[in-house]
Amino acid sequence: MKNIKFILICGLCTLLMASCNEWLDINQNPDTPDSSFPSYSQRLAHIEFYTNSAQQFSNYRSNIGIGDVVRKSDNYQYWNAYWRFHEGISTTSYQWWFVGAACNLADMIASAEAAEAWHYVGVAKVIWAYGMMMMTDLYGEMPYDEAVGESATPKYNDGKEIYLGCLESLEEGLANLQKTQGANADPLSVGDYWGNGDVQKWIKFANLLKARYGVKLSKKAKGALAEGKYDEQAILDALSKGPQSIADNMVIYHTDDNSTTHDNLGWDEPIDYSPLYSVVGMNGGIFCTAMLYKNLTNFGGYGVEDPRAKNILPWQVSIKNPDIDYDAIGVKWDGEWRRTIGVDMSSNIVAQGGPLRSSYSAAKHWYVETENEARLGDTLYVETTSTSKGYAHAADLLFRRDGTNDSRESGSFYSRVSAPTYIGTYSEACFIKAEVLFNRGEKHAAYEAYKEGIKACMDQMNITLKGWVAGDANLASCPSFKEITKDEIDNFLANGIGKETELTLGHIMTQKRIAMFFAVESFNDIRRYDYNPEIFFNWQKPAHWVLDADAQRTMPAGREYRRWQQCSHEYNYNATNLKAIGEKVKRYDPNVVLDEVKSWATRDDIWSIHVWWDTNVD
């Protein structure tokens, strides 16, 4: 992260979400805690860091749950998340948002208002909406009105109340962003590293969020967005004020500098690198699925490979086996580099003990350490692991399994140490526009927006691809780091995405999913279109769900995953209020069971209870 004036001000919060007015670990006088210090500009960078980390951890965990990536068999707590969500995924995002970010916002707003630093007030309101919408997207219900107040047992708000509150906060944010700052107020650039102090970029981002949140209501009756209805014109109006090119994108360009400033919520990792590197890139045994592979290599059955496939699907240095027909199994080579195939989760691979991670030795080359003959071919699955110069003190970004060049692995574009975080992009805006226009019957305009969204994604990726190779010429020979050429883009848009007459909602939503790889919005989209494989190409419920009794309890037959279970802090320490909100939730999902024995929120099937916006109930 470039030029961050970052001060870690987060300490040990109460068990829930009590106000941080009573604590700070940096004060002018450490013996007398004072919420007036640090300043609003110092707080902002801290808040942005923890908000983004919470979002990125949510992105990974929700993405693995909808099946673009999978972990090696029986590996830690996420290997089975594709077919069985479980409590282990629920805590981190909640904690980093409330403890790291949300409890600092009120003090930041108060001090910014006193200084007439209206741009800081505006950004704080937008971040509040962004973070709390993430909470209702994932958990459904949450304390909102009392979320960061003084009560250790805050009352819950239902999904509609949170949703409308977030919309109101966005409007307040926009109003403050358009005010003239006081003469002595800090410029926004002092504390803001998301938008680098660009107020217009924040205004466009807030409008993109309005459109993002508005399109989520596609199951609701038509009406006014401010009333929680589906409002096509409000969405399009917001998009007209949102990003108009990739120059308007809200992007964090992470670095591999190994900052001496580390987070203090328990991970103790440097603040400069991508959060996805922490949970994906530096971990072993994470593979791309056949669904992702097919969508990248033969989208829509058009027989034209997406030029992003070489950057997203991982590669490793390998030696061709003359006994294997690589073309027949879809393995692509580029010189000494071999690209992964996808793990077919519609097969019985999990029942057969897979997928397994490969090992490497000079004598055996790539091999699987197992006596299970069914798993010996898992060498064709290349993991997403990468490394870093700053944090891991490696020679470059290529992971070397045994330390030699013969065992190099490329990792994936989105999960490297200096991979960018796409907070809000023009590409997303194009896909939202395409969806709304297509559903209104305006197919030509929808197709143009659809094409533009694909191109914008590639153009944005190229910024980072060029930077990686410019910074380290050794990466140029690895296909994963190669720039997407104009010819590749033109060919794909002409021949690989379908013609205007062929356009379906499935084309739009599947391409949006590729462009927003590792994003909670993909989980949101697949829920509101009810996991329809005609809308999300190559989607299938994983085969192992049928064999996993625990999975069938969390996702009963005829239902799908719709939310996360609440963080254990809530049902352990705020159980009365959590149980009480079930009366409202039952109004929009009759599967809620209210009894005196066990809270509705801790039942096995909580994962398949709809959140409010994912229903047609007012």
Q: What is the rounded distance in angstroms from the CA atom of residue 491 to the CA atom of residue 505? A: 22
Query: Which range marks the domain in which residue 506 is found?
Result: 286-528
Which residue, 612, 173, 243, is CA-closest to 425? 243
* Helices 426-439, 199-215: crossing angle, 10 deg rounding: 30
Percent of all residues in the chain with a pLDDT value above 70, rounded to a whole number: 92
> 239 in a domain, yes or no?
no
Asked if residue 406 is part of any domain, the answer here is: yes
Residues 365, 406: Cα–Cα separation, whole Å: 8
Residue 341 lies in a domain: yes
Residue 539 lies in a domain: no
pLDDT at 22: 30
C-alpha closest to that of 330 among 381, 367, 398:
381
The pLDDT, as a whole number, for residue 266 is 66
Entry field: residues in the chain: 618
Computed over every residue of the chain, the mean pLDDT equals 91
The pLDDT of residue 349 is above 80? yes
What pLDDT band is residue 598 in, cutting at 50, 70 and 90? confident
Q: At residue 69, what are phi and psi to the nearest 5 degrees? A: -135, 160
Q: How many CB atoms lie within 10 A of CB 200?
A: 11
For residue 120, what are its two tokens? 């800081």
Residue 397 lies in a domain: yes
Whether residue 226 is contained in a domain is answered as no
Question: Chain-centre distance of CA 249, in angstroms?
Answer: 16
- What pLDDT, in 10s, does the model give residues 299-313? 999 999 999 999 999
Q: pLDDT grade, residue 79 (50/70/90)?
A: low
Q: Per residue in 143-168, pLDDT tens?
A: 999 999 889 999 999 999 999 999 99
Closest by Cα among 178, 47, 51 to 106: 47
Residue type, 423: I
Model confidence at 78, in pLDDT bands (50, 70, 90)? low
**DSSP 8-class letter at 157:** B
Characterise 410 by phi-psi region: left (phi > 0), alpha (psi -120 to 50), beta (else): alpha
Determine contact, residues 396/477, Cβ cutoff 8 Å.
no
Residue 446 has pLDDT above 50, yes or no: yes
- Spatial CA neighbour of 69 closest among 284, 267, 275, 254: 284
Mean pLDDT of 203-227: 98
The answer, yes or no, to whether residue 489 has pLDDT greater than 50, is: yes
- The rounded radius of gyration (Å) of the Cα atoms in the chain is 24
Give a yes or no: residue 387 inside a domain.
Answer: yes
- Coil, helix or strand for 471? helix
**Residue 542, both tokens:** 């994983």
**Secondary structure of 233-263 as H, E, C letters:** HHHHHHHHCCCCCHHHCEEECCCCCCCCCEC
Q: Which residue has the tokens 């991508």?
A: 274
Report the pLDDT value the prediction gives residue 76, as an integer from 0 to 100.
59
508 inside domain? yes
CB distance 421 to 275 below 8 Å = yes
* Overall domain count for the chain: 1
Lowest mean pLDDT among 263-277, 295-309, 477-491: 263-277
The two structure tokens encoding residue 154:
């805050």
